[in-house]
Structure 1
Amino acid sequence: MSTTTLETPAAVNGAATFTPVHMPAYIAGRAVETGRTLEVRYPYDGSLTGTAALIGHEHLDEAIKAALEGGKKPLSRHERSTILRKAAALLAERREEFARLITRETGLCMKESRYETGRSSDVLEFAAMEALRDDGQVFSCDISPMGKPRKIFTTRYPVNVIAAITPFNHPLNQVAHKLAPAIAAGAPTILKPSERTPLTALKFAALLYEAGLPGWMLSMFLGTLDEVINPMIEDERTEVVTFTGSVEIGKAIAKRAGYKKLCLELGGNSPLIVLEDADLDLAAKLACEGSFRNSGQRCTAVKRILVQESILEAFTEKFVELAKTYKSGDPEAEDTVVGTVITEDSAKLLERRVHDAVKMGAKVLLGGNRKGALLEPTVIANVPRDAEMVHEESFGPLGPIVTIKDLDDAINYYNSGRFGLSSAIVTNNLQAAMRASKELKTGTTNVNEVPGYRLEHTPFGGVRDSGLGIKEGVVEAMKFFTHVKTFSLPW
Structure 2
Amino acid sequence: MLSLPSYIAGTAVESGSWITVLNPWNREPAGRAAAITRVQLEQAITAHLEPQEALTRHERSRILAKTGGLLEARREEFARLITAESGLCLRETRYEVGRACDVFTFAAMEALRDDGQIFSCDISQTGKARKIFTLREPLGLIAAITPFNHPLNQVAHKLAPAIAVGAPVILKPSEKTPLTAIRLTELLYEAGLPGHLLSCVHGPLDEITRPLIRDERVDLVTFTGSAAVGKEIAGTAGYKKTCLELGGHSPLIVLEDADLELAALLACEGCFRNSGQRCTAVRRILVQERVLAEFTERFLALARTYTFGDPADEATRVGTVIDGKAAQSLEAAVRQAESTGAEILLGGRCQGALMPPTVLANVPRTAHLSTCECFGPLAPIYAVKDLDDAIALSN
TM-score category (smaller protein):
over 0.9
1:306 to 286, 309, 318: 286
- Is 1:32 the counterpart of 2:13 in the alignment? yes
CA contact (8 A) 1:63 1:216 kept: no
Which amino acid in the other structure matches residue 398 of structure 1? L
How many Å separate the matches in 2 of 1:321 and 1:228? Answer: 48
Give 1:385's aligned residue: 365
In the TM superposition, residue 224 of structure 1 has moved relative to its aligned partner by 1.7
In the TM superposition, residue 274 of structure 1 has moved relative to its aligned partner by 0.8
Where in structure 1 are there 5+ consecutive unaligned residues? 1-19, 416-491
Give 1:353's aligned residue: 333
2:301 to 321, 329, 341: 321
Where in structure 2 are there 5+ consecutive unaligned residues? none
Deviations 1:425-461 (A, max 9, x none): xxxxxxxxxxxxxxxxxxxxxxxxxxxxxxxxxxxxx
How many Å separate the matches in 2 of 1:200 and 1:396? Answer: 21
How many Å separate the matches in 2 of 1:372 and 1:28? Answer: 39
Deviations 1:198-246 (A, max 9, x none): 0010111000000000000000010122222111111111100001111
- Is 1:269 the counterpart of 2:249 in the alignment? yes
Secondary structure of the 1:365 match is strand
How many Å separate the matches in 2 of 1:185 and 1:302? Answer: 34
How many Å separate the matches in 2 of 1:313 and 1:145? Answer: 70
1:66 to 44, 47, 54: 47
In the TM superposition, residue 101 of structure 1 has moved relative to its aligned partner by 0.7
Which amino acid in the other structure matches residue 197 of structure 2? M
How many Å separate the matches in 1 of 2:290 and 2:132? Answer: 59
Give 1:154's aligned residue: 134
TM-score (normalised: structure 1): 0.79
Deviations 1:62-97 (A, max 9, x none): 212221225x41111000000001100110111111
How many Å separate the matches in 2 of 1:381 and 1:98? Answer: 38
How many Å separate the matches in 1 of 2:385 and 2:126? Answer: 58
How many Å separate the matches in 2 of 1:160 and 1:121? Answer: 26
2:235 to 230, 251, 255: 255
TM-score (normalised: structure 2): 0.98
Deviations 1:375-423 (A, max 9, x none): 11011111111110121001000111011111111222222xxxxxxxx
In the TM superposition, residue 350 of structure 1 has moved relative to its aligned partner by 0.7
Q: How does 1:324-473 map to 2 (within 5 A)?
A: 324-415=304-395
In the TM superposition, residue 369 of structure 1 has moved relative to its aligned partner by 2.8
How many Å separate the matches in 2 of 1:225 and 1:328? Answer: 33
Question: Over aligned residue pairs, what C-alpha RMSD do you find?
Answer: 0.9
1:192 to 169, 172, 175: 172
Secondary structure of the 1:194 match is coil
- Is 1:55 the counterpart of 2:50 in the alignment? no
Secondary structure of the 1:291 match is helix
Percent identity at matched positions?
64
Aligned residue pairs total 395
How many Å separate the matches in 1 of 2:38 and 2:120? Answer: 50
Secondary structure of the 1:164 match is strand
Q: How does 1:8-27 map to 2 (within 5 A)?
A: 20-27=1-8
Secondary structure of the 2:135 match is strand
Give 2:217's aligned residue: 237
How many Å separate the matches in 1 of 2:180 and 2:370? Answer: 31
In the TM superposition, residue 146 of structure 1 has moved relative to its aligned partner by 3.0
Which amino acid in the other structure matches residue 229 of structure 1? T
Which amino acid in the other structure matches residue 122 of structure 2? D
How many Å separate the matches in 1 of 2:205 and 2:307? Answer: 38
Which amino acid in the other structure matches residue 185 of structure 2? A
Give 1:95's aligned residue: 75
